[in-house]
Amino acid sequence: MAAEKEDLKKSKVYLVDDHPIVRQGLIKLIEQEDALEVCGEAGSAGEALAEIQKVGPDVILVDISLEDSNGLELIKTIDDLGLRIPTLVLSMHDESLYAEHALKAGASGYVMKQAAATTLIQAIEKVLDGEIYVSKTMSSQMLKLAFRGNGERPRSGAEALSLRELEVFDLIGRGNSTREIAEQLSLSVKTIETYRAHIKDKLHLRSGTELMQRAVHWVENESHRVS
């Protein structure tokens, strides 16, 4: 019996999250599973890319917010390199806003960090089987969207923003100036100003002050939602 257990081929999981404590918790959780093992971890996209190509994981868990990049950009890069490794986004960000962006970027699933441990394991197993994982609520929303004639659903508020606009909006709400946002996202100040203008237009805001107030309010709501 012991020999059988030793011969069981474990699926290798690679973790990409910028919080060491979160990674340690995930390692403990995953290592409890007979069929899974953690083969590596990283806090940044650059470090992850270098190691992923060496260790060849079977699935990658990726947070959206990383030290040097956006997790969805990392997923796109992995896809562009033709690595064919399924990726599962594990994030504190609201699934209703980010899951669709994640799937479009090439992710195989989306799990919120406040989900039960068993949910995460189920999601990993499903993704390893070549399936897509989202919550039942999100799955229902996507089915409704698929059966609508034009394939698009009416969007309002933050839902109307693109992924990059959401990033900028979030950083505005956290008190960052245009120049600071440009530095964090490795973009020009002019580009960030363009994003700000698009956000104001989509959210029907008349001034920079209204934009700041709405962004701060949104960030506060996001924090309460995941706390």
pLDDT at res. 66: 84
Contacts for 96 with CB less than 8 Å, ≥ 6 apart: 137, 138, 141, 159
pLDDT for 227 equals: 46
Check whether residue 29 and residue 100 sit in a common domain: yes
pLDDT means over runs of 10, the chain (227 residues): 60 95 95 95 92 94 86 89 92 83 90 92 94 84 59 61 86 89 88 91 88 85 58
Q: Does residue 29 sit in the same domain as residue 109?
A: yes
- At 126, list the tokens: 């499903």
Give me the number of domains the chain comprises. Answer: 2
Full residue range of the structural domain in which residue 31 is found = 2-145
- Residues 24 and 86 reside in one and the same domain: yes
My answer on whether 140 and 172 are in the same domain is no
Kind of pairing, strands 11-16 and 36-42? parallel
Q: Do 26 and 111 belong to one domain?
A: yes
The CATH number given to whatever domain includes residue 135 is 3.40.50.2300
Does the residue 21 lie in any domain? yes
**Together in a domain, 166 and 188:** yes
Tell me, what's the pLDDT at 41?
96
CATH number of the CATH domain containing 163: 1.10.10.10
pLDDT at 82: 86
